[in-house]
Amino acid sequence: MKKNILVIYYSQTGQLEDIVRNIAKPFEAQKEEYDVTYYNIKLKEDFPFPWPGDVFFNTFPESYLQIPKEMLPPSEEVLSKKYDLILFGYQVWYLTPSIPIISFLKSSYAENILKDTPVVTISGTRNMWMLSQEKLKVYLRDLKAKLVGNIALVDRHDNYTSVLTILRWLTTGQKEKSGILPAAGISDEEIAGSVKYGEIIERHFKNNDFNSLQPDLVKNGAIEIRPFLVRVEKVGNKIFTVWSNLIIKKKEKRPLLIKFFKVYLMAAIWIISPVVLVLHLLTTPIFWFKRQKQKRYLQGINLK
């Protein structure tokens, strides 16, 4: 009897779709053993791509506060099966799983699909995914899903270069290299190479051995933890909490506050972030063991 594999994702640029389809290839290649179904989450009113600048920043408060939008129902094909494994691909918006992903997780469909089912989460991001994954872990726990693995592919360029390339990509649609700036996003080689993670997952799935799946994924490069960026995320979450609540509460001043937030965010990236980096480096000897412990935790799948 065939095993049912569900691939859930939401992808604006197509990058995450390429990643999850590559990871699913080892299952697709064995059609006599696996029936692979793809579920592309769709909203009733989708977000544009490329993003008009104002729309991108105006999405911030709802993104960070995890306010869902109305979504279209999954197809009958998706709803009619019980799945043996779910590959769950998601984007990160403003240090949080994207609005389409949150909309699915808060829908009436999520628990029926995810309950009691092994789930491997897959993210494709600029570089900050760690605390977003912590938020996702809570949703999966509350929906009674079984998180068995996590893969996080990132842009390998430095933090400041990737800011410029991702903004160019999101607002103009240009991913390709131009001038002194490299191509945006995760490299084509790494996306193509992500099939190896699918092979690892398929092997563990076939052997009914999920206990050692995550260590195997980590050993093969599925997770990279940059302690400095964890610190930046923690600071960012505190700042975003203040800004998002202020913008939501002051509805009449929203357009003005969004403009102030845009200026503040750019200043934080280019001025505050370097300060955080210097402080991080200076305190490395003091917090070495604490950061190593934190790194091991974030590489794993357990929830504190």
The model carries a pTM of: 0.94
Task: Count how many domains the chain has.
Answer: 2
- What range defines the domain where residue 147 resides? 3-225
Give the pLDDT score at 158. Answer: 85
Instruction: Name residues whose C-beta falls within 8 Å of residue 102's C-beta, 6 or more positions apart in sequence.
Output: 66, 67, 68, 96
Last residue within a domain, chosen from 166, 200, 225: 225
Do the domain assignments include residue 298?
Answer: no
The residues of the chain scoring below 50 in pLDDT are: none
Give the pLDDT score at 304. Answer: 84
> Are residues 242 and 213 both part of a single domain?
no
Instruction: Count Cβ atoms within 10 A of the Cβ of residue 29 and give its class: 0-12 exposed, 13-18 middle, 19 or more buried.
Output: middle
- What is the phi-psi region of residue 43: left when phi exceeds 0, alpha when psi lies from -120 to 50, beta otherwise? beta
Give the pLDDT score at 281. Answer: 82
Q: CA 258, CA 266: separation in Å to the nearest integer?
A: 12
Work out whether strand 118-125 and strand 146-154 pair parallel, antiparallel, or are unpaired. Answer: parallel
> Are residues 89 and 217 both part of a single domain?
yes
Give the pLDDT score at 286. Answer: 87
H or E element, residue 168: helix 159-172
Give the pLDDT score at 221. Answer: 96
Helix-then-strand count for the chain, H and E: 15, 7
Give the pLDDT score at 287. Answer: 86
Amino acid at 197: Y
Do the domain assignments include residue 263?
Answer: yes
> Are residues 288 and 170 both part of a single domain?
no
